[in-house]
Chain A
Amino acid sequence: MKKIKAEKLGLTESVKRHLEAIGVVVGEVIVPSTITIHYPRERRKLPDNFRGLILFDNKACISCFRCAHICPANAIVMEHRIAYFPSIDYAKCIFCHFCVDSCPTGALRPTKIHDFVYKDMDEMVVHSEEMVETPEIVREDSFTVEYVFDGDVQLVKKKEKEELVPEVKPPERPPKVAAALNPENCISCRLCVAACPTFAISAKEEKTKIILEINVDRCTACSICNKICPTSTLGLVDR
């Protein structure tokens, strides 16, 4: 068995260490290095891409279902309103914001609101119309606090109110648009018309053949029509 003995210190050395310990404590008492954020009165400065509450713009939504498809927690269900709009179940939501990232038109927007509560489980299913407006927030804070990791952690306080709903630029659409590259291949099956999530393709009957009309404004270059077309009639071209 190995016995560990305490270090033998001389009188001067032990007195020095005692004084050192007392000095540290007295220093902390006078100027504490506390890094607590007094939450309701202070808020931590959050990045603009903070993954908080999700807002929805029903005019921008093209009902492409991408948010519902990508959601790893199955929290998003598309409900029929004017078109199919997403509803988010915050009981399931893991705040990964894949839906926000996948939204091709920026209809889903991120906010920095992270402090919200619901009364019961039913209320946690938030429908699209409830996500349009920014919820009312009781702001008690007058300071914005930021951690500065420069050597020791420090708190930097600023007397300002942070905007919780950042301005997010809608994502740029790919500079492409669907077009009938090989019109002679078309067999008039109209699968593309049914598949187009933004209803950009319409078909006009003319005697024995149909003419496909593509609304360039609505097309998001998702290339679903390209994939579904059995005869490779449709493709993407530069705008």
Chain B
Amino acid sequence: MPGMLEIMVQNMVNIPLIQPLVDVLLKIPVINYIVALILWRPIFAVLIIPGLGAIMLVLMIIVWWERKLTARVQWRVGPLEVSRPIGGIMQVMADGMRYFFQEVIVHRNAHAIYFIQLPILAFLPVLLPILLIPAGPVYAIRSDYAIPAIVALIALIPVVIIAMGWASNNRFAYIGAIREAFMYFAYEIPLIFAVLAMMVLYGSGDPFVIVEKQTVPGILLNPVAALTFIIATVMATSRLPFEIPEADQEIAFGPFVEYSGILFGLVMTLAYEKLYLMSLLLTILFLGGWNGIAIPILGDFMPPFWLFLKAFVFMLIISLLRSIYARYRLDQALRIGWSSILAISIISIAISYALVLTGWLP
């Protein structure tokens, strides 16, 4: 296929820093296809950054960071003994290895087919939104409806979790699945309203238009929507203080109670992956997307870099919540979700309309 290579080479990510190396590699017969494929913009967006590679990097650092932070607040040391010179950051890799070699137990009462396939299927709603999340020139699909589509795809994750709770056929998993369902409705509507407010403000669902219009970051234009979005993110990723569906101390990890081995490794990282996606969405809507200080040597890599960095810093800060707040009861969380947060999300839409109608934004 001589045509294929040309198509890929024409639409390659241009990074001046590694360009000489790429030029050399493109002259070698087989390797040029691999290099061109990886650096092909759609593939680069989905596989490297802000896609799969970035997710793996985030998972590795954020789990360690969260454990370490909580340990410091609780006067402990946290993970340290694995790779002591770099502060125990390889602990996550060690845990991953353990998950790989641990036996996956499918108990007798579980619906074995769904029980095994759902953690793997859960990657679909995690990876599909990446297709629609652009990072400047590095993107897979450009659409006017990208933002609503991303929200809709992220909203599929709880469905998979509820299905896992059902397939586990365990009382704790069942309670966890019910709690997940309750929470789902409590946060999803304010979340959608907050996103809607920003779409009203910018007058488009296209991330490129949204980022272009953010000469002032969206968090300053509509702080109420930002607050709603952040609280909804915390609820959606079941982090403390809304760690209600998982609640270790009450229902022993809720829907994931029966999972072990690599399947547990997959489902445990689900909340972090969801947090990453929602951080990317938050960065695009409220933090100016991939706008940032220009670094010429990075070339096309610069916008994804800024997008990733902003989202990542937001994740690092949100990890702190775990050690600040205690867990709400389910009824308290539902009351918050259906009353105050729903109210402020509606107010945020009103603010957006006010801003648009008074003509503050072009």
Contacts and interface: CB of A to CB of B under 8 A. Distances in A.
B320 A36 contact: no
B17 interface: no
- The residue in A21, A26, A32 that gathers the most chain B C-beta atoms within 10 A of its C-beta is A32
Nearest to B77: A36
B108 interface: no
A83 interface: no
B323 A33 contact: no
Q: How large is the interface on B (under 10, 10 to 19, 20 to 34, 35 or more residues)?
A: 10 to 19
A35 B71 CA distance: 12
A25 B323 CA distance: 7
Contact of A34 (B72, B320, B324, B325): B72
A29 interface: yes
A25 B240 CA distance: 14
Given A34-B77, A36-B77, A29 B324 contact: no
Given A32-B72, A34-B72, A25 B77 contact: no
A32 B76 CA distance: 9
Interface in A27-53: 28-29, 32-36, 38
Nearest to A23: B324
Interface string A78-120: 0000000000000000000000000000000000000000000
B242 to A, nearest CB: 15
A32 B75 CA distance: 7
B73 A29 contact: yes
Interface of B: 69, 72-73, 75-77, 320, 323-325
B76 A22 contact: no
A28 B324 contact: no
22 contacts: A21-B324, A21-B325, A22-B320, A22-B324, A25-B320, A25-B323, A25-B324, A28-B72, A28-B75, A29-B72, A29-B73, A32-B72, A32-B73, A32-B75, A34-B72, A34-B76, A34-B77, A35-B75, A36-B75, A36-B76, A36-B77, A38-B77
Contacts of B75: 28, 32-36
Contacts of B320: 22, 25-26, 29
Contacts of A36: 75-77
B61 to A, nearest CB: 16
Contacts, number: 30
Please give me the 7 A-B residue pairs with the lowest Cβ-Cβ distance, nearest first. A32-B72, A28-B73, A25-B324, A34-B75, A36-B77, A21-B324, A25-B323
Nearest to B325: A21
Given A25-B320, A32-B75, A33-B75, 11 more contacts: A22-B320, A22-B324, A25-B73, A25-B324, A26-B320, A29-B72, A32-B72, A34-B72, A34-B75, A36-B76, A38-B77
A123 to B, nearest CB: 29
A48 B76 CA distance: 29
Nearest to A34: B75
A206 to B, nearest CB: 76
Nearest to A26: B320
Nearest to A22: B324
A35 B74 CA distance: 11
A7 to B, nearest CB: 15
Contacts of B76: 34, 36
B312 to A, nearest CB: 17
A25 B325 CA distance: 10
A32 B323 CA distance: 13
A22 B69 CA distance: 13
A29 B74 CA distance: 9
A28 B325 CA distance: 15
B67 to A, nearest CB: 13
Contacts of A29: 69, 72-73, 320
A33 to B, nearest CB: 6
A154 B320 CA distance: 24
A22 B324 CA distance: 6
Interface in A168-213: none
- The residue in A28, A33, A35 that gathers the most chain B C-beta atoms within 10 A of its C-beta is A28
